[in-house]
Amino acid sequence: MPDTCPGIPPDIAFMYVPVIYYYHTNHSTDATWLKTLVYSMATLEVLQTCLVTADAFHWFVFGYGNMARLDDTFLNSWDVPLLDAVIALIAQLFYCWRIWILRPKSYGILSAIIIVALTQCGAGIAVAIRANEIQKLSHIGENLIPQAIWLSGSALADIMITATLSWTLLMAGSKGLPERSRRIINRIVTVTVETNSLTAGVAILSLIIFLAVPAHSALVVPPTAVMGKLYTNCLVAVLNHRSQHDEPASQLTLDSHSMGMSSRTRWQSSKDTTSPRSPGKPPRLYRSASSKDEYGVNTTQSFPLSVTVMQDVETDDDYKVRTSESRTR
């Protein structure tokens, strides 16, 4: 049997396509950099799936019955630690951007998260280089310090991100917002905790296996093989969660990336529009055509914020009643 890379099963390599299709359909007006981020991570997802599948064929198909081949790293040194570390760094920097949007002056916590994220990425690259030099899965336990830094750094960064985002959102929800808005914020907190806890949990599990069973350090390969996919799917899940198709189009909205820190209503009086009105008539309200905030992020998929306006506004009916009374006199 030829020792070549096999064809990749389409049901395995492209399981990510429905998620990307949903994002493309519902959030096609996102900023260019955000769409580039999502599609780049999708490309890395497919690449990692192809490489992992090639590893599986190398070990279990082409090397069937050859126990020595099971100890061969083949492409595993690149498709797991290297790609996992890079994908995790991208996802963690994205969450850092969201924290910066919510808390622009939180330089301390942001710097700490970024340092931890860069450290885990550097350790993951070091693990990949060393594993490629060793060429034996049974010897990856010799790479103790970089492996421990990589896995613990990934988990620590995810925990810090979860704690910061959750605290910020919960504090925003406690500042006199209506019950409906608080429920929406709680739902966002739930999604944030679930997605980041999942990635952090897998990293912690991998670290425990690696340290607890040093004689069989290759057991760390299966859980770490899915870490990159979890980061990618969780990030896109957070973005897709913005969809609110069941809300009325006339609802005042709050920018989903500011999430409670500033209310950016996109309504203005008629003096700011080009729509003419007759002299003496009361001002009308027109909806602005703007759909992006100052960061270039689409705001049409924002979650609604109920607003109670305590202000006397002269309506058309009031104007007609007053006009008819003046004519009667």
The overall average pLDDT reported for the chain is 76
Rounded mean pLDDT, 95-117: 93
* Predicted local confidence at residue 328, as pLDDT: 57
Between 266 and 22, the more confident residue is 22
The answer, yes or no, to whether residue 265 has pLDDT greater than 80, is no
- Which has the closest alpha carbon to 92: 46, 153, 40? 153
Percent of the chain exceeding pLDDT 70 equals: 69
Structural domains for the chain: 10-240 (1.20.1070), 248-329 (no CATH)
* Predicted local confidence at residue 320, as pLDDT: 53
* Predicted local confidence at residue 277, as pLDDT: 44
What the block records as the tokens of 169 is 């959102």
pTM over 0.75: no
What the block records as the tokens of 207 is 């670290």
pLDDT tens per residue, range 145-172: 999 999 999 999 999 999 999 998 888 7
pLDDT-based confidence at 292, cuts 50/70/90?
low
pLDDT-based confidence at 312, cuts 50/70/90?
very low
pLDDT tens per residue, range 185-232: 888 888 889 899 999 999 999 999 999 988 888 899 999 999 999 999
Chain-centroid distance of CA 170 in Å reads 19
* Predicted local confidence at residue 180, as pLDDT: 82
Sign of CA dihedral 266, 272, 276, 278: positive
* Predicted local confidence at residue 110, as pLDDT: 95
Percent of the chain exceeding pLDDT 90 equals: 40
Please give the Cα distance from 162 to 104 (Å, whole number): 17
How many C-beta neighbours within 10 Å does residue 290 have? 11
The answer, yes or no, to whether residue 103 has pLDDT greater than 50, is yes
Sign of CA dihedral 180, 189, 233, 61: negative
pLDDT-based confidence at 287, cuts 50/70/90?
very low
What are the DSSP calls for 93-111, one per residue? HHHHHHHHHH-TT-HHHHH
The answer, yes or no, to whether residue 33 has pLDDT greater than 70, is yes
Lowest average pLDDT, out of 17-31, 160-174, 286-300, goes to 286-300
Rounded mean pLDDT, 28-48: 93
- Which has the closest alpha carbon to 74: 51, 40, 108? 51
* Predicted local confidence at residue 21, as pLDDT: 87
* Predicted local confidence at residue 271, as pLDDT: 37
How many C-beta neighbours within 10 Å does residue 252 have? 16
Between 293 and 168, the more confident residue is 168
